[in-house]
Amino acid sequence: MDIDALFYRAGEEYSTYEKHIPAPYIRTEIPVIPGEKKRIRVSGLGFYDLFVEGQKITKGLLAPYISNPDDMVYFDEYDITELCEGKTSVALGLILGNGMQNCPGGKIWDFDIARFRGVPRFSLSVIKDGEAEDIGKNCKWHDSPILFDDIRNGCFYDAGAEINGWCCSGFDDGEWGRVTPAEQPRGEYRICDADPIVIRQELSPVDIREAVFDERINLRDAVKIPTQYKFDEAGKKGILFDFGVNASGICRLKIDGKKGQRIFIRFCELVTSEGKPSAVNSGFFAPVSYGQSLLYICKGENGETFEPSFCYYGYRYAMVFGLEPEQVLPETLTYLVANSNIKERGSFECSNETMNALGRMTRVSDLANFWYFPTDCPHREKNGWTGDAGVSCEHMMLTLTPERSYREWLRNICKAQNEKGQLPGIVPTGGWGFEWGNGPGWDNVLSELCFRIWQMRDDLTPAEECADSLLRYAAYLADNRDDKGLIDFGLGDWLKPKTGTQTAPVRCTNTMMSMYIADKTARLFDAMGKPLHRDLARTLWTELREAFRRELIDYSTMTVIPKCQTAQAMAIYYNVFEPQELEQAKKVLVDTVLESGVHIDCGMLGLRVIFHALSDCGRGDLAFKMITRDDFPSYGMFVRQGLTSLPENFLPDDRHDNPDSLNHHFFGDIVSWFIQRVAGLRVNPHGRGANDFEISPDFLDALSFAKADYDASCGHVSARWDKTETGAVLNVTVPEAASGQIALPKGYTFTNGQNTAELKSGTYNIIRV
């Protein structure tokens, strides 16, 4: 859709830490003709809230989207016909938030110096017979009670500055200023087609107690902030609300306030061993009094209710300052858990409670970090780190419905690609992430999202839209090989546990990641009917593989150089070895794991593949032990430590009071292993289409049952196995349109003596031989 739109602004100054500029109220009135359909189109940069006759009708939080407006400018459309019935005119109101347009909390990633930084602006049109009539030019503006807003820092609000009836017909706006034309955004204009961000759940506190805020404040910069907003919370007493789960969202404050009473809240995910709530791991980007903060100045009424705008928080704990004793009630603060409106598609359950807990923790982190697109953490960076999204894509596609939002984000990824074909480490970006924070392990996101949507949903549309970018990135890889034909740049096996052992070098991990990218790109181009593009990508794959095999394999032992878990697992998973070499290569991986004491010794790239590689070795039992044990480093230690989401790193217990983020999703591929390798429900493993499945369970000795469910394009698929004295019983449910097979592991047969069968719904008795 071609969109022709004009943008307007209120004032000329944009908000900074040093000088706060309130968010503007914007209003106008439009006539209503009886029986006429009313549809409006709106954009707000960075964010907007939309009101019709005093009723808020915004599609969700942080509308319209989170983007670089030099790349993409998003609009939403609303049918307001019903709201106009019986009226001769209606008032339209907007409140504009800073969003990406003005992002002081993003200084670390250069958002404060982005070319697009400026005052918030908006476009407002009425759609008639498919044509847009600009009504933004008729709008007037006034300061709103939102004194300060920033997506990372939070929201400051003075309820005493509210203006009753401001967005209702007949309101006297004679003293309000007129909007003026704004600089037009440079990006592509389009209607947003991502899942909106909605409030998914309301949580009451599980505990309320007095506490002292951690005196350690981890500051990135010291800036001079307005005295009236400075609240040195370090070491001060307040009331701690514990909501029991480390998720993301906003809150609802409900209070019988006293006029001018100031309520200050710091949101955090950590309580130290001394019982102190702490922002030491989540507030490094902001000055004192900012960073996951909320300031509410009461207007002095009973039942005052407030929900912050244009920001969100990652938290389990809310430290509230300024409450009187009689105001400390469970209903004073409610957690409004929010994320993109993606649905559950798949699930897993088994007899091991550690695995079940890890599945729940993965789901919490996946959702807490999905705000239009996957972010790295909901409390601190809130960036669309590409590497995180790439390693999480398969398990999210198995368990959730992210493909609509992935497709919209892919458009932004393609726009962010530079003239060299290079991709940044975060999207959106204002230019940061090309010199550091990227490389094939991160750039993999482009092909991975396209490939998984095609593989698992039979949808080639994203790949077709990204075809030029896929080809340009393949050319970029081809042009940036070293003199040995290897790829030796970018981030590598990120956040490997500090065990003192060998780390896979970048030339090793990133040559294999480049092979993987080239292979997927070739397969996508083949499916799109682009043989020349396919052949270019396939040639790149062949040349990278030959270079890797020539330079980085010790053929006397079939060991990748240097020997380590990540290198060997990736080589098996990404098809570096020839079939006749695999038996010995697999033995090396198993030996390497055993030499580690069956502990995890991989970073982000290795963890994405090692458990699957071990299952391919017939050693799912080792993967199970690596995951479920509860000593350092393991996943089970997260459960023992009482975490409710997946953290960013494997850290020993003595780092409890000084951890990294406690809410990241990039270690969540264990859920893919649970579903596909333990329960055995594998989606399109042989490239025959999204409705082709293989049920190939692993009857692990440590489990008595396992089950998985998945909503495929053709219908619901489920597999459950239960141990018996002689083997197991397998129950399978598949739609009639599904195809595939059931394949049993070594040592098990059906009652007819076979170990494979055509995939059909039914109950299968399995014998251990």
Q: Is the pLDDT of residue 222 over 70?
A: no
Cα→Cα distances 299→157, 163, 333, 688, 691, Å: 11, 12, 18, 63, 58
- Which pLDDT does position 201 carry in this prediction? 97
Element (H, E) at 304: strand 304-306
- The tokens of 87 are what? 């009226």
State yes or no: pLDDT of 307 exceeds 70. Answer: yes
The helix/strand/coil state of 464 is: helix
pLDDT at 657: 83
Residue type, 185: P
Residue with tokens 């967005």: 167
33 torsion bin: left (phi>0), alpha (psi -120 to 50), beta (else): beta
Q: What is the mean pLDDT of residues 706-714?
A: 98
Among 427, 443, 436, 445, smallest CA distance to 100 is for 427
Q: In the structure encoding, which two tokens stand for residue 415, read together?
A: 């726009």
From the CB of residue 19, how many other CB atoms can be counted at a distance below 10 Å? 12
Residues 6 or more apart in contact with residue 642 via CB below 8 angstroms: none
Cα 577 versus chain centre, distance = 34
Residue 1: which pLDDT band, with cuts at 50, 70 and 90? low
Q: Distance between CA atoms of 623 and 47, rounded to whole angstroms?
A: 45
Q: What is the CA radius of gyration of the chain?
A: 27
Sorting pLDDT into bands at 50, 70 and 90, what band is 282? Answer: confident
Angle of helix 506-527 relative to helix 565-573, nearest 10 degrees? 20
Q: Is the peptide bond before 685 cis (omega within 30 degrees of 0)?
A: no
Q: For residue 435, how many other CB atoms are within 10 A of its CB?
A: 10
pLDDT at 231: 67
Distance CA 716, CA 346 (A): 9
User: Model confidence over 28-84: pLDDT tens digits?
Assistant: 999 999 888 999 999 999 999 999 999 999 999 999 999 999 999 999 999 999 999
Over pLDDT 90: what percentage of the chain?
91
Q: If pLDDT is split at 50, 70 and 90, which confidence band does 658 have?
A: confident
- Residue 366 three-state SS: helix
Q: Work out the pLDDT band at 464, boundaries 50, 70, 90.
A: very high
Is the confidence at residue 232, as pLDDT, over 90? no
pLDDT, residue 224, reads 62
Taking only the tens place, the pLDDT of each residue in 333-358 is 999 999 999 999 999 999 999 999 99
Decide the pairing of beta strands 692-695 and 681-683: antiparallel
pTM over 0.85: yes
- Give the CB-side neighbour count of residue 211, counting CA atoms within 13 A: 27
Contact 193/404 with Cβ under 8 angstroms?
Answer: yes
Classify residue 326 as exposed, middle or buried by CB count within 10 Å of its CB (0-12, 13-18, 19+).
exposed
**Can you give the pLDDT at residue 233?**
65
* pLDDT tens figures, 609-651: 999 999 999 999 999 999 999 999 999 999 999 999 999 999 9
Q: pLDDT tens digits, residue range 671-690?
A: 999 999 999 999 999 999 99
> The tokens of 440 are what?
């094939």
Kindly provide the b/e burial profile for residues 675-695, where b requires at least 16 CB atoms within 10 angstroms of the residue's own CB: bbbbbbbbbbeeeeebbbbbb
The tens digit of pLDDT for each residue in 556-613 reads: 999 999 999 999 999 999 999 999 999 999 999 999 999 999 999 999 999 999 999 9
Reading the block at residue 589, the tokens are: 């991986």
Tell me, what DSSP letter sits at residue 347?
E
Residues 739-751, mean pLDDT to the nearest whole number: 97
* CB proximity list for 272: less than 8 A, separation 6 or greater: 214, 278, 656, 657
For residue 215, the model assigns a pLDDT of 76
User: Of the candidates 333, 426, 422, which has an alpha carbon nearest to the alpha carbon of residue 385?
Assistant: 426
Q: Which residue in 398, 387, 403, 541 sits closest to 463, CA to CA?
A: 403
Residue 218 has pLDDT above 70, yes or no: no
- How far is the CA of 136 from the CAs of 96, 122, 338, in angstroms? 13, 8, 31
Question: Within 10 Å of residue 723's Cβ, how many Cβ atoms?
Answer: 18
Whether the bond into 64 is cis, omega within 30 of 0: yes
On whether the CB atoms of residues 5 and 41 are closer than 8 A, the answer is: yes
pLDDT in tens, 505-555: 999 999 999 999 999 999 999 999 999 999 999 999 999 999 999 999 999
Strand runs (DSSP E) across 135-195, as ranges?
Answer: 140-143, 146-150, 154-158, 177-178, 180-181, 188-191
pLDDT score for 220: 47
Q: For 505-568, what is the HEC assignment?
A: CHHHHHHHHHHHHHHHHHHHHHHCCCHHHHHHHHHHHHHHHHHHHHHCEECCCCEECCCCHHHH
Residues 73 and 185: beta-carbon distance below 8 Å: yes
> Would you say 136 and 122 are in contact if contact means Cβ atoms under 8 Å apart?
yes
In whole angstroms, what is the distance from residue 718 CA to residue 651 CA? 36
Residue 580: how many CB atoms within 10 A of its CB? Answer: 8
Ranges assigned E (strand) in 573-712: 681-683, 692-695, 705-712
| Rounded (10°) angle between helices 445-457 and 403-416 | 150
- Residue 289: is its pLDDT beyond 80? no
d(CA 77, CA 72): 16
pLDDT tens string 414-460: 999 999 999 999 999 999 999 999 999 999 999 999 999 999 999 99
pLDDT value at residue 113: 94
Over residues 18-37, mean pLDDT: 94
What helix, strand, coil percent values describe the chain, rounded to 5?
Answer: 30, 25, 45
Q: What is the mean pLDDT of the chain?
A: 95
